[in-house]
Amino acid sequence: MSQKQLSKYLDQRLIKRLRIYTIVMVVMLLVIIYEVITGTFSISWALGGVLIGLGIGTLVSRVYRLSWDDETSNVIGQMDWIGAIILICYLVFVFTRTHYLSYWLQGPPLMGLVFSLTAGTMMGRVMSTERGVKRILRTWNILGDEHIN
């Protein structure tokens, strides 16, 4: 099933959120690729940051609990108390990561790691949300016999 077909089952706020995450991820990945090619920082730091960010993004994707809304026939994301706690922890991480990482890295390598963490986090959020949406559509048998990848 294509992303366009999948999006007709998504709440508009969820679509906007995923678009923002994707735009941030693509911009960060382009900056990272450019900086690695020019030799500003190493590919190992970039890959490590992206992988760590993927893990963080997967955890943080739990901020919004996905569910099926019968009234709108859409998958919606709602924040519950567990999501609020995760969001607070994530915001603390976002605002303090540069401070704590600067103990080990300085200058361009620090920037590269922060960008890599951000790109990986956004990638993890998008991938986890997509998996959650597909799981809900399978559970509710919304698409009938169509196969969802």
Q: What is the pLDDT of residues 51-65, one digit of tens each?
A: 999 999 999 988 889
Helical H runs in 1-149?
A: 3-7, 12-37, 43-60, 81-101, 108-139
Residue 117 lies in a domain: yes
Specify the pLDDT at position 41: 87
Residue 138 lies in a domain: yes
pLDDT at 145 over 80: no
Domain extent, residue 27, equals 10-62+107-144
The percentage of the chain sitting over the pLDDT mark of 90, rounded to a whole number, equals 49
Phi, psi of 143 (to 5 degrees): -100, 10
Q: Which of 1-10, 75-84, 113-122 has the highest mean pLDDT?
A: 113-122
Mean pLDDT score, 72-97:
89
Q: Between 17 and 2, whose confidence is greater?
A: 17
Specify the pLDDT at position 39: 92
Mean pLDDT score, 102-119:
90
Phi, psi of 42 (to 5 degrees): -80, 155
Specify the pLDDT at position 147: 53
Residue 67 lies in a domain: no
pLDDT at 117 over 90: yes
Closest-CA residue to 112 (of 22, 12, 41, 62): 41
Mean pLDDT score, 119-148:
83
- d(CA 2, CA 7) in angstroms, rounded, equals 9
- Total domains present in the chain: 1
Average pLDDT in the chain: 88
Specify the pLDDT at position 53: 95
The percentage of the chain sitting over the pLDDT mark of 70, rounded to a whole number, equals 92
